[in-house]
Chain A
Amino acid sequence: EVQLVESGGGLVQPGGSLRLSCAASGFTFSSYAMSWVRQAPGKGLEWVSSINASDGNTYYADSVKGRFTVSRDNSKNTLYLQMNSLTAEDTALYYCAKVIFGVVTAYFHSWGQGTLVTVSS
């Protein structure tokens, strides 16, 4: 069974940084592209970033480009999202997801339960 467990969320001041992690199990992590998707409180879903399975190619939504960095450690079955220069608009529940049928042009097949990031002074 696929399990994705996010961690690292919390309260951070505007302009601050946070690093999210997603521990994966139940599948061959190194064979799948992975993504981050976020959901602001009471709002819809927004794709944030994706990373290829092995070559490390990364992709970002315009709203986070230049501020967020996605990475992965296939030896630890873990996905990361480094978030810098955070603003209130980044407040959301951040989900990691295993993707299918592509890297960025993909569907989100399995999801974690999310980790909440709150940006506020």
Chain B
Amino acid sequence: EIVLTQSPDTLSLSPGERATLSCRASQSVRSYLAWYQQKPGQAPRLLIYDASNRATGIPARFSGSGSGTDFTLTISSLEPEDFAVYYCQQRSSWPSFGQGTRLEIK
């Protein structure tokens, strides 16, 4: 089983700031990594797939990078609606998710 570890657990930032979220895999997942956003009371939403490809309708301020075991989700300038929980997920093997990073308003 591939374990994904996200850091930090909680990130406190202000609107307009840049957010950098990390996801580390216990073994290489090549580029088979996705990022999801989940707001309270809502289902997760696919943001990024294959490490760096934005899903349909996702704003350009969201970008993903990385390969192998280390990945990053960057939000270039935070909007009020971006404060949520973010999960990474790999599909190199049977799917697994990270524990999530809570992005909160400072």
What is the interface of chain A, defined by CB distance below 8 A to chain B? 44-47, 59, 61, 95, 100-102, 104-114
Contacts and interface: CB of A to CB of B under 8 A. Distances in A.
Nearest to A112: B43
A61 B93 CA distance: 12
Interface residues of B, number: 23
Contacts of A104: 94-95
Interface in B47-84: 49-50, 55
Contact of A105 (B50, B91, B100): B91
27 contacts: A44-B87, A44-B98, A44-B99, A45-B89, A47-B94, A59-B94, A61-B94, A100-B49, A101-B91, A104-B95, A105-B32, A105-B92, A105-B93, A105-B94, A105-B95, A106-B91, A106-B95, A107-B49, A107-B89, A108-B34, A108-B44, A108-B89, A109-B55, A111-B43, A111-B44, A112-B43, A114-B43
Given A44-B100, A46-B97, 9 more contacts: A44-B98, A47-B96, A101-B50, A101-B91, A105-B32, A107-B34, A108-B36, A108-B95, A111-B43
B18 interface: no
Contact of B46 (A46, A102, A107): A107
A23 B46 CA distance: 20
Nearest to B41: A113
Given A105-B32, A107-B34, A109-B46, A45 B97 contact: yes
A58 to B, nearest CB: 13
B39 interface: no
A41 B34 CA distance: 23
Given A101-B91, A104-B94, A105-B95, A45 B44 contact: yes
Closest CB pairs A-B (n = 7):
A111-B43, A47-B95, A45-B97, A105-B91, A107-B34, A107-B49, A44-B100
Nearest to A111: B43
Contacts of B49: 100-101, 107
